[in-house]
Amino acid sequence: MIKILANDGIHPAGQTQLEKEGFKVDTTKIAQEKLATQLNLYDAVIVRSATKIRKDLIDACPNLKLIARAGVGLDNIDVDYARSKNIRVINTPAASSQAVAELAFMHMLNLARFGYQSNRDMPSKGDTEFKALKKSYSKGRQLRGKTLGLIGFGRIGQETARIALGMGMKVLPVDLQIDAADITVDVAGTDGVTVRLKTVAWEEMIANSDFISLHVPFMGKALISTKDIEMMKDGVFIVNCSRGGTVDEDALLAGLESGKVAGAGLDVFENEPTPKKALLEHSRISLSPHIGASTVEAQANIGLELASKIYDHFIES
C-alpha cells in the first residue's frame, strides 16, 4: 500500500479520493526537526508552505518517490535536487488562481476606497466622529479606467487580468516567458468576450500603471526596488499576493512615507510568520496573513487536483 504523509494537511475531498483509490493518507503533523527520521516511512509527502523539503531531508529519505505541493509556489522545496534523485515534484497551479486573483482585488478595492482604514476607525470613532470619518474617507477612487500592471502573466496573472478587464481597467502585463494570452471574460447570456493581451516592456508597465500586482515566485531577490518605485507614477498602489521578498519592504516603506506610493496591499511578507511591525502598523497598508489560496472552493480544488496527480503518478510508475 502506498503511504502518503499530508504534513500540512489536505482537503477532505482530496483525502477521500485518494483513500478510495487504495492509498493510505496520514494527516498527522510531524515537526520539521523530526521529519528526517520519520519521512522515510512514506512514499509521498504533501506540503504547503510550512514544511521545508531541502537537500538534507531528501538525502535522509531514499524511499521518497513524490513531493506534492498543495499550492503554486515551490520555494520551500529543493526541486532540482529532488528530481536529480528521481523524486517527482508536483504542484497545483490551476486550482487556486481565482482565489488569489480575487484577494488581490480585495486589496485594490480596500486601498481605492479606504476600506481597511475605515473598518479600523468605525468601531472606535464611528459613534462620536461619524461626520469627520465620512469627510476623511470621501476621496476614494474607482478602478474603472485605471491601468493595472501585472508582474507575472501565468495562470494567476491571467485570472487577475480577467477580473480587471471585467471592471473596465487597462492591463499591462510583463512576463519573461509569455508574449501574449487570450483572456475570456465571462458575460451572462454570451459565450464570453475574448481579448488578446500582449505583454509589454518592464519600463512601460512601471511608468504607466496606477496599480501594480505581483504574481510571480520568489526569484532570489526583490523585483520591486527603490529604483523601480522611483520610476512609478506618483500615487501608485502596489499589491503583493505572490511571495514575500518579491517587493523590497524597506523600499516600499520609504515610498509610502514619501507619498510616492499611495498605498500597498500585502498578503505575503519577507519574515513570515513574523512580519515587520512597521508594515503591520502602517496606516496605508491593507493586510492579510498569506491567505491567497485559502478559500473553501480553492482548497477543495487543490485537494482534488493533488489526488488526481498523485494517482496518475503511481499508476504510471
Residues 58 and 181 in one domain: no
Residues 149 and 41 in one domain: no
The whole-angstrom separation of Cα 305 and Cα 90 is 10
**72 pLDDT more than 90:** no
Residues 145 and 277 in one domain: yes
To which residue does cell 487570450 refer?
182
Residues 28 and 106 in one domain: no
**71 pLDDT more than 90:** no
Residues 148 and 192 in one domain: yes
Residues 180 and 310 in one domain: no
Q: Domain count of the chain?
A: 2
Residues 160 and 239 in one domain: yes
Residues 143 and 241 in one domain: yes
What is the pLDDT at residue 213?
98
Q: What is the mean pLDDT of residues 253-268?
A: 98
Residues 215 and 265 in one domain: yes
**317 pLDDT more than 80:** no
Residues 185 and 305 in one domain: no
What does the pLDDT look like over 233-247, one tens digit per residue?
Answer: 999 999 999 999 999
**275 pLDDT more than 80:** yes
pLDDT band at residue 73 using 50, 70 and 90 as cut-offs: confident
Q: What is the mean pLDDT of residues 208-217?
A: 96
pLDDT band at residue 93 using 50, 70 and 90 as cut-offs: confident
Residues 112 and 216 in one domain: yes
Catalytic residue among 11, 162, 290, 305: 290
CATH of the domain at 37: 3.40.50.720
pLDDT band at residue 75 using 50, 70 and 90 as cut-offs: confident
Domain hosting 34: range is 3-93+296-316
**70 pLDDT more than 80:** yes
Q: What angle do CA 72, 316, 70 make, to 5 degrees?
A: 20
What does the pLDDT look like over 9-34, one tens digit per residue?
Answer: 999 999 999 999 999 999 999 999 99
Catalytic residue among 54, 272, 284, 313: 272
Catalytic residue among 48, 243, 282, 305: 243
Residues 88 and 102 in one domain: no
- What is the percent of the chain with per-residue pLDDT over 90, rounded to a whole number? 92
Q: Is 243 a catalytic residue?
A: yes
- Amino acid of residue 46: I
Q: Is 11 a catalytic residue?
A: no
**85 pLDDT more than 90:** yes
What is the pLDDT at residue 209?
98
Q: Is 230 a catalytic residue?
A: no
